[in-house]
């Protein structure tokens, strides 16, 4: 998702297929375990599951295009070797201009 992208509820746009949108978001949520770089975008677009519109569906399809181009990248969890894990998180409480929801990110 490009920096500064602002998606709104877009009620004037045509409605998207809700079942397809749910399936796409569910598949992407599963992939976030091995592709954490898509976590923020997937969670952001998951907010629109109750009433998805065409711009939301196109944005989710862009995530799939990104995944196709970066299929060789990901996290590898070796079975027999020790490794150090360091985690970071960032919170924006009430920062979403659309509905004042909080946004959380981590890596």
Q: Which of 13-17, 47-51, 57-61 has the lowest mean pLDDT?
A: 13-17
The pLDDT value recorded for residue 5 is: 61
DSSP per residue over 15-30, as a string?
BP-HHHHHHHHHHHHH
Question: Could you report the per-residue pLDDT of 26-46, keeping only the tens digit for each?
Answer: 999 998 887 888 888 898 888
Strands, DSSP E only, in the chain? 89-92, 103-106
Q: What is the pLDDT of residues 61-81, one digit of tens each?
A: 999 999 999 888 767 777 777
Mean predicted confidence (pLDDT) in 79-105: 73
Separation of alpha carbons 78 and 48, rounded Å: 36
């Amino acid at each position: 998702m490009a920096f500064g992208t602002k998606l709104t509820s877009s009620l004037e746009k045509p409605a998207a297929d809700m079942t397809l949108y749910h399936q796409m978001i569910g598949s992407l949520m599963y992939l976030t375990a091995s592709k954490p770089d898509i976590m923020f975008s997937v969670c952001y677009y998951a907010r629109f599951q109750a009433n998805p519109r065409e711009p939301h569906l196109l944005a989710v399809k862009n995530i799939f295009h990104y995944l196709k181009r970066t299929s060789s990248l990901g996290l590898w969890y070796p079975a027999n070797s020790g490794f150090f894990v360091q985690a970071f998180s960032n919170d924006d409480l009430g920062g979403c201009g659309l509905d004042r929801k909080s946004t959380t990110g981590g890596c």
